[in-house]
Amino acid sequence: MMEEYLQMFLNWFSIDNVLFELWGQKVSSLEVTSTVCGILCILLAIRGKVANFWIGYIYNIVLFLLFYQTRAYSSMLLQPVSLAINFFGHYRWTHPGEHEKDSKSRLKVTMFNTGQRIVLVALVLIFMFFWGYILSRVDIWFPSLFPAPARLPYFDAFILGMVLMAQYLSAQKKLDCWFCWMVANCCNVILCYRLGLSLMTLVYILYIVLAVGGFFTWLKMYRKQHYLDLRKQVEKKWEKENK
């Protein structure tokens, strides 16, 4: 009996365990699991809930299995790095510096200036060409681990760069992270459709909508905190002048 349950558990995390078809493409239990975890993670992040990191840890593991089985090696290799960024973000959100706290003593939402954004874009492009080349050769260098060539290596590498940037900015609670998520999710729509992941294609379309909602929700938080910071500065200045 235990062996049967174990086999059922293992089968659940296989893309060969098909639950239904969508647009003529098979949808596996593994794909459904990643969908549920991803949506929960984003909804919690939008609301600024620390619980999004706990769901994120599970999401990383599920995506690792999904992308390995579909030969999207760049997206697969992203997951251990993503897991590390999740740990970092979890710590940052729960241990903000004194000057980084909002009115509820949580890490407050901030944003980059134009110069910093240009640097971030340049870093993503450099990473794309560097990592894309490695992906295009990985089946030659490590044939035992990667028996087949990577699919769309440079495009996959660009997505990886955007996702890493988005995750890092999310960990720092930067408003700019939602623009990165929008670009990454648009690219993921194309990638998943090419990989035959119909459900994930729809999910990433939903992620785009959620990213737009996340941007406006965090923008409201940012404006509210900016107003409170300005008021504190005025109050401190007034106190000094009237001592």
pTM, to two decimals: 0.79
What pLDDT, on a 0 to 100 scale, did the predictor assign at position 242? 67
Per-residue pLDDT tens over the stretch 52-103: 899 999 988 988 888 888 777 767 877 888 889 999 998 888 888 777 777 6
> 97: left (phi > 0), else alpha (psi -120 to 50), else beta?
beta
Nearest to 91 by CA among 50, 38, 61, 131: 50
More confident residue, 214 or 156: 214
Mean pLDDT of the chain: 82
Dihedral sign from CA coordinates of 78, 79, 82, 84: negative
Positive/negative CA dihedral, 63, 72, 10, 199: positive
- Using 50, 70 and 90 to split pLDDT, how confident is the model at 190? confident
Q: Is the pLDDT of residue 24 over 80?
A: no
Q: Where are the domains of the chain?
A: 2-95+113-238
pLDDT per residue as tens digits for the range 196-205:
777 778 888 8
Q: Check residues 121 and 28 and name the one with the higher pLDDT.
A: 121
